[in-house]
Amino acid sequence: MREYLPVLVFAAVAVLFAVSTIGVSTIIVPRRSSARKMAPYECGVEPVGDARQRFEIKFYLVAVLFILFDIEAVFLYPWAVAFRQLGLYGLVEMGLFILVLVVGYLYLLFKRAFDWN
């Protein structure tokens, strides 16, 4: 278990740092509150209307689709790094992987998932 000691030390330091900075600031910071200070963007533009607005569902759809393809694309990086070792096998595997993604993409396309209206 000895090899884990640095990890433990690191974790302790991280916790200590976080606790101490927050703790010190809560102790020494002066508090003088005013209405303007409690506003959402204290030194920005004037807020207009309620922040709890409803968003259109389409945003969620696009966001989910983005994350989906984004994360799948990340898998391309390790393959790129080990491209030469993996050789033809890797190429075929990745081709299949992308094929599956493309089918999904086509389905979304035909289903007009990207169509804003």
Partner 1 sequence: MSGVPFLLPVDWWALGAVIALSGGAMALLLLEFLPHGPESNRAALVSLVTLLAAGASVFVVRDSRRALFDGMFVHDGITVFFTFLFCAIGILSVLLSWDYVKRTRINRTEYYALLLSSTLGMVIMAGSNDLITVFLGLELMSLALYVLVGFRRSHLESNEASLKYFLLGAFASGFLLYGIALLYGATGTTNLQKMTAVMSDSPMLENPLFVVGALLLVVGLGFKVSAVPFHMWTPDAYEGAPTSVTAFMSAGAKAAGFAALVRVGLSTLGAVRTDWVPVLSAIAILTMTVGNVTALLQNNVKRMLAYSSIAHAGYVLVAIVAGGRDGASAALFYLAVYSLMNLGAFGILTLLGRGTEERVLVSDLAGLGFRHPGLGIAMTVFMLALGGIPPTAGFMAKVYVFGVALKAGLVPLVIIGVLNSVVSVFYYLRITVAMYMEEPQAEPTHVSWAVPGALAVLAAVALTLWWGVQAHALLDQAQRSVLGGM
- How is the chain classified by DSSP, letter by letter? -GGGHHHHHHHHHHHHHHHHHHHHHHHH------HHHHSSSTTSSPP-S-S-PPPPHHHHHHHHHHHHHHHHHHTHHHHHHTHHHHHHHHHHHHHHHHHHHHHHHHHHHHTTTT---
Q: Which of 47, 83, 106, 114 binds partner 1 (CB under 8 A)?
A: 106
- 103 in contact with partner 1 (CB under 8 A): yes
- 87 in contact with partner 1 (CB under 8 A): yes
**Would you say 41 or 89 has its CB closer to partner 1?**
89
**Would you say 39 or 96 has its CB closer to partner 1?**
96
For residues 113 and 97, give the distance between their C-alpha atoms in angstroms, rounded to a whole number: 22
For the record, the structure tokens of 46 come out as: 């004037």
- 114 in contact with partner 1 (CB under 8 A): no
**Would you say 2 or 111 has its CB closer to partner 1?**
111
- 7 in contact with partner 1 (CB under 8 A): no
Q: Which of 55, 59, 77, 89 binds partner 1 (CB under 8 A)?
A: 89
- Interacting residues with partner 1 (CB under 8 A): 85, 87-89, 100, 103-104, 106-107, 110-111
